[in-house]
Amino acid sequence: MVDMKYVAPSTIDEAVGAILAANGTGRILAGGTDLLVQMRLGTAKPGVIVDVKNIPEMMRIEETAGGFRIGAAVSGAIIGEHPALGKAWPGVVEAINLIGSKQIQGRASAGGNLCNASPAADSVPALVAAAATVTIQGPKGRREIPVETLHAGPGRTTLQPGEIVVGFTLPARPLGSGDAYLRLIPRTEMDIAVVGCGVSLIVANGTCTAARVGLGAVAPTVLLVEAAGKALIGSRLDDKALEAAAAACRAACKPIDDKRGTVQYRTKIAGVLLKRAAAIAAERAGAR
């Protein structure tokens, strides 16, 4: 039995200090819905558990100049109940709220979903489409990175020793913007994405002026598919533009074959979900 320690600091500096002092054996505890399962399976044997839920900055949602700063440890349930956030970024909120059951939502955080670095994480394609940035604090201070650069591979991040994800920021939404996230699962609930697709659009007078597409579960990390966004920008989101964007999504796929789906199936579905998610995002863009 490993002698495990538990600390629950009230400042980020203390949390960084505790992680650094643990010398690679420290694990951050937010909702615990990944960490506790890994501990039970024996795949995680932390020397120090650093519970960050007593750190106010990591537990709140702030509105900042039209955008939002969301603490890394805020639960999915709290995110889902925030009225302004759900209005501005419905796709991001629905992606986060698709993770697990109500019981999981009561604890699991978007920051944890990010740091768990699953290629199939539901929140991540929506955050990539949203051009979210991640705030990281470590022994050398704070830095801010685009969300799509956080992941290095399945279960691996680009965080340096002692660094923790403090929160993430969603930009302000101009009039005519909309986002959506769709995933394919064989069941209706409680499953892991075969493919996940997030789309964020800005539409002015019927023409798409900005578009970003995030694709999940089709590569070792969630992808920002820039070519798909480019195919939509300047178009009226007509069938030809949607097919070009879908083709760009299919071309970006480097999926694995597994029990959830074959390479061929995942690749095809990536294009299908792009079209459906873009249609929902466009409808939402028209509504605001």
Partner 1 sequence: MAKLHVSTTINGEPAEFLCDVSQTILDVLRDQLGLTGTKEGCGSGDCGACSITLDDRLICGCLMLAAEAEGRRIETIEGMAKGDRLHALQKKFIEFAALQCGICTPGFLVASRALLAHNPDPSETEIRYWLAGNLCRCTGYDKIVRAVMEVARDMRETTR
**Residues lying near partner 1 in the complex (CB under 8 A):** 1, 3-6, 8, 29, 31-33, 36-37, 39-41, 49, 51, 53, 75, 77, 100-104, 106-107, 188-190
The structure tokens 């970003």 sit at 212
Closest CA to 115 of 99, 87, 136: 136
Q: Residue type at 136?
A: I
Closest CA to 284 of 198, 203, 186: 203
Minimum gap (Å) between residue 240 Cβ and partner 1? 36
Q: Do 213 and 245 meet the contact criterion of CB atoms below 8 Å apart?
A: yes
Integer Cα distance of 124 and 164 in angstroms: 17
Closest CA to 258 of 120, 87, 72: 120
Minimum gap (Å) between residue 5 Cβ and partner 1? 6
Closest CA to 173 of 35, 17, 48, 281: 281
CB closer to partner 1 out of 54 and 209: 54
CB closer to partner 1 out of 122 and 148: 122
CB closer to partner 1 out of 4 and 84: 4
CB closer to partner 1 out of 105 and 200: 105
DSSP structural state of residue 73: T
CB closer to partner 1 out of 7 and 219: 7
CA 185 to chain centre: 17
Q: Do 178 and 201 meet the contact criterion of CB atoms below 8 Å apart?
A: yes
CB closer to partner 1 out of 80 and 154: 80
Minimum gap (Å) between residue 126 Cβ and partner 1? 19
Integer Cα distance of 168 and 68 in angstroms: 8
Minimum gap (Å) between residue 120 Cβ and partner 1? 16
Minimum gap (Å) between residue 7 Cβ and partner 1? 10
Minimum gap (Å) between residue 3 Cβ and partner 1? 5
Minimum gap (Å) between residue 49 Cβ and partner 1? 6
Write the DSSP string, 12-29: HHHHHHHHHHTTT-EEEE
CB closer to partner 1 out of 106 and 154: 106
Name the 3-class secondary structure at 8.
Answer: coil
User: Where does residue 85 rank: exposed (0-12), middle (13-18), buried (19+ CB within 10 A)?
Assistant: buried
